[in-house]
Amino acid sequence: GEQVEQRPPHLSVREGDSAVITCTYTDPNSYYFFWYKQEPGASLQLLMKVFSSTEINEGQGFTVLLNKKDKRLSLNLTAAHPGDSAAYFCAVTPITGNTGKLIFGLGTTLQVQP
Amino acid sequence: EAAVTQSPRNKVAVTGGKVTLSCNQTNNHNNMYWYRQDTGHGLRLIHYSYGAGSTEKGDIPDGYKASRPSQENFSLILELATPSQTSVYFCASGRDSANSDYTFGSGTRLLVI
């Protein structure tokens, strides 16, 4: 079945720097991709949902890139600020036989130093 | 507002005791999920459900049971709690479609002593 590898597990950057988190997946039929943010002691909140037909998605202060050829999904936080300090999880759903169950990466803990 | 509500928020249980974690959703989602989150392991799927009366084993079901008596409610049951089940448990709901994201509850912190 689908496997998702997320890197790095921990990331520390200074305020204003960029931070990049990458997930690679194995199922070429994977079709929907998600990024979740979990602030310390809190639940997971959906950051962005992207489809395989789009390659670049921009949010507030971040960009999600999808490289279907390399089966790689990345989250790029531009000009990180301390409020971005959190755990980030990618998730993938294959289109084949899918019933809505997401496959999660192990997460990346991001610390943004002032 | 549609939501996923977990109870209790915190629980201390004794080894060998029975623990029931409850989850209620008002999203009218068919699918519901129970995960545990531990440092270094990310989110691990315990049980899930496709609708009332259905339960399916996830990746780590041993030591856990699940119950889905209605569309809205999904419970996780630890019949004989062990210290290794000390963790943070999250419930989530989602539609039964490939483009569905999850709505997560706030989590339950369980300590088994």
Q: What is the pLDDT of residue A72?
A: 93
Question: Residue A8 is encoded by which pair of tokens?
Answer: 């790095």
Q: What is the pLDDT of residue A57?
A: 76
- List Cα–Cα distances, B39 to A6, A83, B49, in angstroms: 15, 21, 25
- Is residue A59 predicted with pLDDT exceeding 90? no
- Is residue B14 predicted with pLDDT exceeding 90? yes
Range with lowest mean pLDDT among A49-58, B17-26, B75-84: A49-58
Q: What is the pLDDT of residue B48?
A: 95
Query: What's the Rg (C-alpha) of chain A?
Result: 14
- CA trace torsion A42, A33, A102, B42 (10° rounding): -50
Burial class (CB in 10 A: 0-12, 13-18, 19+), B73: middle
B-chain residue closest to A91, CA distance: B101
B80-92 per-position pLDDT tens digit? 999 999 999 999 9
> Would you tell me which residues 47-106 of chain B have a C-beta closer than 8 angstroms to some C-beta of chain A?
48, 50, 90, 92, 94-102, 104-106
What is the arithmetic mean of pLDDT over A103-113? 95
How many whole angstroms separate alpha carbon A16 and alpha carbon B85?
Answer: 40
Residues in chain A: 114
pLDDT band (50, 70, 90) for residue B12: very high
How many whole angstroms separate alpha carbon A8 and alpha carbon A88?
Answer: 11
How many whole angstroms separate alpha carbon A11 and alpha carbon A24?
Answer: 17
How many whole angstroms separate alpha carbon A85 and alpha carbon A87?
Answer: 7
Q: Which residues in chain A have their CB less than 8 angstroms from residue B43's CB?
A: 89, 104, 107
- Is residue A31 predicted with pLDDT exceeding 90? no
Backbone torsions φ then ψ of A84, nearest 5 degrees: -80, -10
A34-56 per-position pLDDT tens digit? 999 999 989 999 999 888 666 77
Out of B42, B105, B107, whose CB is closest to A104?
B42
pLDDT band (50, 70, 90) for residue A28: confident
Q: How many CB pairs under 8 A join A and B?
A: 60
Contact predicate A37/A61, CB 8 Å: no
What is the arithmetic mean of pLDDT over B70-96? 96
Backbone torsions φ then ψ of B14, nearest 5 degrees: -95, 150
Q: 3-state DSSP call for residue A10? A: strand
Give percent above pLDDT 90 in chain B.
88
Q: What is the pLDDT of residue A54?
A: 62
What is the arithmetic mean of pLDDT over B20-35? 96
What is the arithmetic mean of pLDDT over B102-111? 96
Q: What is the pLDDT of residue B32?
A: 96
Q: Which residues in chain B have their CB less than 8 angstroms from residue A100's CB?
A: 30-31, 94-98, 100
Residue A42: DSSP 8-state: S
Q: What is the pLDDT of residue B81?
A: 98
How many whole angstroms separate alpha carbon A100 and alpha carbon A77?
Answer: 27
> If we measure between CA atoms, which residue out of A29, A9, A39 comes closest to residue A92?
A29
Mean pLDDT over each residue of chain B, to the nearest integer = 94
Q: Which residues in chain A have their CB less than 8 angstroms from residue B9's CB?
A: none
How many whole angstroms separate alpha carbon B5 and alpha carbon B11?
Answer: 15
